Amino acid sequence: MNHSSKHTTPHTLNDLIAIARDGKSFYEEAAQKVDSAELKTLFNRIAGIKAHVVAELSAVVQAAGGEPEDSGTLVGAMQKFYGKVRATLGDKEFGYIAELEESEDRLNNAFKQVIQDPGTPEAARAAVTRLLPEVRSCHDVMRERKLAMKRAA
């Protein structure tokens, strides 16, 4: 039984590229919408990290002879829609922080799944393992920020 179609480097990494791309556009959108200069700076910095993750994974996909994903995910499109709705109700900054932290959870979990999957090709696992610390640190920053805002509320 040949499962190789699911476990090619391009297939494995393109899901992560799409999720990271969602995160990047969501951070860029949030940076334009929030009033806090400090949050704008933070969101733009994390959008830059997402762009780096997308570029690194895309390079590995190309090296494996694949076509890197060039769009986001359907979940990302829905998330943006809900983010917009939520941002118009109540605390806009907390709404964005909560949505962004959720997108960090998604990316972090997707990275972990790729690393833990025994069928993950070595090139894909190496790339994901190399980028995991960046992904994890973005996740931790946003989780801390969300908890701090909850405590302050």
Q: In this structure, is residue 77 part of a structural domain?
A: yes
Instruction: Output the pLDDT for position 3.
Output: 42
Q: In this structure, is residue 4 part of a structural domain?
A: no
Q: In this structure, is residue 1 part of a structural domain?
A: no
Q: How far is CA 39 from CA 63, 71, 73, 94, in A?
A: 36, 26, 25, 11
Question: 7: pLDDT confidence band, cut at 50, 70 and 90?
Answer: confident
Q: In this structure, is residue 120 part of a structural domain?
A: yes
Instruction: Output the pLDDT for position 6.
Output: 65
Rounded to whole angstroms, the Cα distance separating 61 from 133 reads 20
CA 108 to chain CA centroid, Å, is 7
Q: In this structure, is residue 2 part of a structural domain?
A: no
Q: In this structure, is residue 116 part of a structural domain?
A: yes
pLDDT in tens, 66-110: 999 998 887 767 676 666 666 666 678 888 898 899 889 999 999
Residues spanned by the domain of 125 = 9-152
Contact 37, 67 (CB under 8 A): no
Task: Look up residue 121 and give its two tokens.
Answer: 């090709």
Amino acid present at 141: V
User: pTM of whole model > 0.85?
Assistant: yes
The CATH number of residue 81's host domain is 1.20.1260.10
Q: In this structure, is residue 87 part of a structural domain?
A: yes
Q: In this structure, is residue 29 part of a structural domain?
A: yes
Mean pLDDT for 117-125 is: 94
User: Into how many domains does the chain fold?
Assistant: 1
Rounded to whole angstroms, the Cα distance separating 54 from 35 reads 27
